Every structure is written in C-alpha cells, then in structure tokens.
Amino acid sequence: MACRPQLTPVLRRLARTTSELSRQAPRPQVLSLTRTAAAAGSRSLGSSQPRPFQHTPARRKDGDDFTSIKYPELKRDGRFGRLTLDHVAHFRSLLGDSNSALIDGVANAEAAADDLEPFNSDWMRKYRGHTQLVLKPASTTEVSQILKYCNDNMLAVVPQGGNTGLVGGSVPVFDEIVLSMSRMSQILEFDDVSGTLVAEAGCILEVADQYLAARGYIFPLDLGAKGSCHLGGNLSTNAGGLRLLRYGSLHGTVLGIEAVLPDGTVVDDLSRLRKNNTGYDLKQLFIGAEGTIGVITKVSIQCPQRPAAQNVAFFGLESYEHAQRAFREAKGQLSEILSAFELMDEGSQALVHRVTGSKRPLESTHPFYCLIETSGSNADHDSEKLSAFLESVMDKGIVADGTLAQDETQLRALWAWREGITEALGHLGGVFKYDVSIPLAQMYQLVEDTRARVAEAGLLGDDADGTHPVRAVVGYGHMGDSNLHLNISTRRFDPRIEKVLEPFVYEWIAQRQGSISAEHGLGLAKKKYIGYSRSEGMVGLMKQIKGLYDPRGIMNPYKYI
C-alpha cells in the first residue's frame, strides 16, 4: 500500500476573513463591483455572490451606459403606452400620496432622478433603464389593482425584488414601470412543529433566516446576496445557492405561493401542506418565471431544522478523475451530513494566492482541490465521519493531501479559498464568466478545451511582449450540483477574446446537453442563447405559457424567452 500522506494542520495565518483578504489585495484594475451606498441602500453583497461577465466600465455621467444604447438592437415596443400624469394620478389614488408608495419621475424627471436610479440599475452596473415611475404596493390587492390597470392601458411592468440578479432581469430596459415589492416584507406565519414559514414576497432572505434561526430552523436556501435579495425574487429566479446539495431545489421546498396575474387575477395557491394532490401544481410555473407571467406576492415554504454542527475539510487531488471519485466517496460515507462539495482548480487557487498573499491551506500544490462541508445534529459524530472519510480517501490514494478546520475561524478561512476566487479575479482585471451545468463526468473538460482554444488563438500567456490579453482560464464551482463556473481572466479589452469564446462555449455545452444558465436565469443577458439549452419545441411550449398568462405581453418585456 502506498504511503499515506499526513493531514496538514490548518495554520493560524488562514484565520483571515474574506474582508481582510480584500483589504490586503493589490488592485491592479479597480472594477466597480459594488454599488455606491446611496444606490445600494442597505444592500450587502457577500463575497460568495457570483459576479458575471465584468468588462463593464464604471458608471458614466453622460448616460451612454443605458441598456438601450449599449444594445442598439433592442427596440422599445411601440404597443406600450407612454406614462402620463393621469396614469400617475390614478396610481396615487390607489396607493396613497406618500413617497414611500410611489416615486414619480413623470411630473418632474430631474427632481426624481436620484430616487429612481437604484431601481433603474442593476448592482453590476451592466444594465440601466429609463423608468420614470416606481410603484411600491403594500398589499396583494394593490398589486392586483396596479397590474389590472397596466394591462388595460398597455403599460409595461418590471417586478423588482432586491435587485441582486445577475442577468439584468429585474431592471427596466426602456420606460417600464418598476413594481417594487419592498413594502411587502412581513413574515406572516410560522408553524414551529411543521417548520412551515409564510411570508410576503418582499421579505429579505436574511431576515427570514434570522427569524428562523431564533426558532431552531433554517431557510432552505442560502446565497451571497441574502442581505438584500427578496424571497419573491428567490422564487422568481429559482435561486440555487449554497444549500441546494443538502435541501434540494425550491421546486421541492416551496409549499405554496400567492401570485397576481397581469389581468389582476390573484392565484391563491398558498398551501401550507407538504402533501396536496388536488390538481395541476400551477405554483411551479412561477418558480423560475422571472416575473414574466405574474408577480409572486406571498410564499409558503418548508424549513428544515437548523444543524447544530458544521465541519469543513479541504484537500488536494491529482486529477479531475480523482475529484469525481472523492465526490462519490463523500456521498457514500458522509451521506446525510454532506452539505457542500466544492471544486477549485489550481489556476483559481493560484490567483487567490497571488491576490491575497495568504499561506495556502496545503503544503504542496495539486491540479485540483475540493472543499467539503458537513452539517449535522451531532458535532462528535460528524467529526468522526469526516475524519474517517478523509483517512479512507487518502488510503485509497484518491486524495493526495488534506486538512480539517479545527474551529469556526479556520472553517471560514478554508471557505475563503473557495469564496474568495470571484473577489480575486475581479481584482486582477476583466473576467468572462460562464455559469453552466454539465453532466459531471465531462464538467471540467470545458475548462481544458476552452484553455486550449484560447492558447491556440495566441491569446493566453504571460505578457512580456504585450501579446497575451488572457491571463488564465480557470474553473471552479458547486461540484455537488454539477455547476461549473468557467472564468477567463483578462488583462485588457481585446475583441478577439469574445470571438474565440462565443459561440464556442455555448455550442460545447449544447453538445453535452448542459445548461447555459445553471442558477442565474435568463433575464436580458441570456435570452438570445436559450436555443443552446432548449429545443425549438420547448421554447414554443414556453411561449404558449407566456401567451396564456400574459397575452398582452406587459410583464418584464424584452427578456427571458
């Protein structure tokens, strides 16, 4: 039997948090990754928030960063009415006169510009619309009255939750009315025997989770933007996040919704029951519909007990084949306590190391690393299982080296090597980002094939002679969910890069029946690429559903399908 490597102790140095990593980082090219405080309000974007394609320049005063200018092929749909003072007066009569209910830029665009701006722009500053009116209903009835009026008057509407999306789905393109759900933020019910939570759609994810934490429960979804994102937005985008491996998708955990259709019809499907086989499960259509067929107003969801113990291990592997074997062993041995299995390649870790200067978790480098997290009800049992697992995979030669976090600080430090990748890449320059799902056996091959292609085109390498705009092609992601983040780190803008990458990446994914959007949705960004993941027939059937619920097409136009 081969000599078994020793577990490397986690060093104190690793105790730095992600925010410390950021502070220490050299910033060769500062990109506007976070919005200004004024624009973002109380928004806090955690380091685990994935960031998509980032060649977006900092916000320009002259306004040529409007979506309508950046994407000249998009044309305003002439069937939509233009907002008038009469329309605004009607909305005031519905919602009351307070500024908390309505932001009016129709009467005086200049005066309202600053107030409207956060609703017109996404946090990446990639998309910027021209809305002149934000409506903030406080009840389902108000949502219904608004939509019915908009439908009758052909006024286009963009539903907006926390506006933390990554594909431009929650901001207007032209002058669509923004329907902000921010005032419908209450937790309505919690059954502490069954774990069923009922809340309004505008409830912030972190608020819901903290409410549940105080009662020994956990929200079955977690993601970096939890401090800002709304439950309604989570459902509308079918958010996946960090807990999917453990708690499954929202299609399984959501028990009911209340939603409003464009014609004002209230879909009263707010079941609190785990089992209810009485007819078509219509609520499922609204999960992942990105506000294109109606607006979710209330949510009922099954919440699991909060785990008492968490452990994290980090290890190095000699090949992607080894990583797959490790994943299989982890599923078998850790089974019910496995809550994350994350993959990082050496390229991604080298970049984090370069940016942070932190000592790496393992003493030697390896082509691949995995981070395993367990969550369970008994800390001793979980530690024992995780140690036994690590010993076993080392004995079998699957894992080359590994380390176990000894406390909460070390646990966070190990997570920083996974969660810090996005941050590090951002600090180094522009990034082409693809959030994709590919059958596990072939998943990493996409990174290798892309790297080879970029190298072949003469774009990848060191930049001694100034001819290599691409620094690195790296891959990492949620291995447990077959969800890869392919990232191409660039030094400067070069039109050749995009030509080499697209449609190559999408075609590669399509050939393997993968998904061009694993968890971020379609929005405006991926509308035109849906054909790479869905057949013409399926897109046709989807358009049928759109036509059924939104025959006049007022809901979130220019996006999705």
Q: What is the residue type of 109?
A: A
Of 28-36, 189-197, 199-207, 361-369, the window that binds a second copy (rule: CB under 8 A) is 189-197
CA 444, CA 349: separation in Å to the nearest integer?
Answer: 15
We find the least distance from the C-beta atom of residue 559 to a second copy, in angstroms, to be: 11
Does 271 contact a second copy by CB under 8 A?
A: yes
Choice from 46, 288, 367, 397 touching a second copy (CB under 8 A): 288
Report residue 158 as tokens.
């963009």
467-486 residues in contact with a second copy (CB under 8 A) are 481-483
Choice from 60, 331, 492, 528 touching a second copy (CB under 8 A): 331
We find the least distance from the C-beta atom of residue 271 to a second copy, in angstroms, to be: 7
Choice from 64, 114, 152, 268 touching a second copy (CB under 8 A): 268
Report the C-alpha dihedral over residues 203, 207, 211, 213, rounded to 10 degrees: 130
Report residue 350 as tokens.
């080298």
Q: What is the residue type of 357?
A: G
Between 187 and 510, name the residue whose CB sits nearer to a second copy. 510
490-519 residues in contact with a second copy (CB under 8 A) are 513-519
Does 560 contact a second copy by CB under 8 A?
A: yes
Q: In angstroms, how far is CA 166 from the centroid of its own chain?
A: 6
Helix or strand holding residue 373 (H, E): strand 368-376
Does 61 contact a second copy by CB under 8 A?
A: no
Tokens 């406080």 found at: 138
Choice from 381, 492, 496, 528 touching a second copy (CB under 8 A): 381
Tokens 């691949």 found at: 368
Q: Number of residues interacting with a second copy: please give it, by CB under 8 A.
A: 94
Report residue 151 as tokens.
């439908």
Site string for a second copy, 425-464 (x = CB under 8 A): ------------xxxxx-----------------------
Does 276 contact a second copy by CB under 8 A?
A: yes
Does 236 contact a second copy by CB under 8 A?
A: no
Does 281 contact a second copy by CB under 8 A?
A: yes
Site string for a second copy, 518-547 (x = CB under 8 A): xxxxx---x---x--xxx-xxx-xx-xxx-
Q: Mind spelling out the 3-state secondary structure of 197-216?
A: EEEECCCEHHHHHHHHHCCC
Going by the DSSP 8-state scheme, the letter that residue 518 receives in this structure is S
Between 194 and 406, name the residue whose CB sits nearer to a second copy. 194
We find the least distance from the C-beta atom of residue 195 to a second copy, in angstroms, to be: 7
Choice from 39, 242, 337, 460 touching a second copy (CB under 8 A): 337
Sign of torsion over alpha carbons 284, 287, 290, 293? positive
Residue-wise over 225-259: b if at least 16 C-beta within 10 A, else e?
A: bbbbbbbbbbbbbbbbbbbbbbbebbeebbbbbbb
Q: Where are the beta strands (DSSP E) in 55-171?
A: 102-104, 133-135, 157-160
Site string for a second copy, 198-227 (x = CB under 8 A): ------------------x-----------
240-259 residues in contact with a second copy (CB under 8 A) are 240, 244, 248-249, 251-253
Between 109 and 541, name the residue whose CB sits nearer to a second copy. 541
The HSE-up count of residue 34 (CA atoms within 13 Å, CB side) is 19
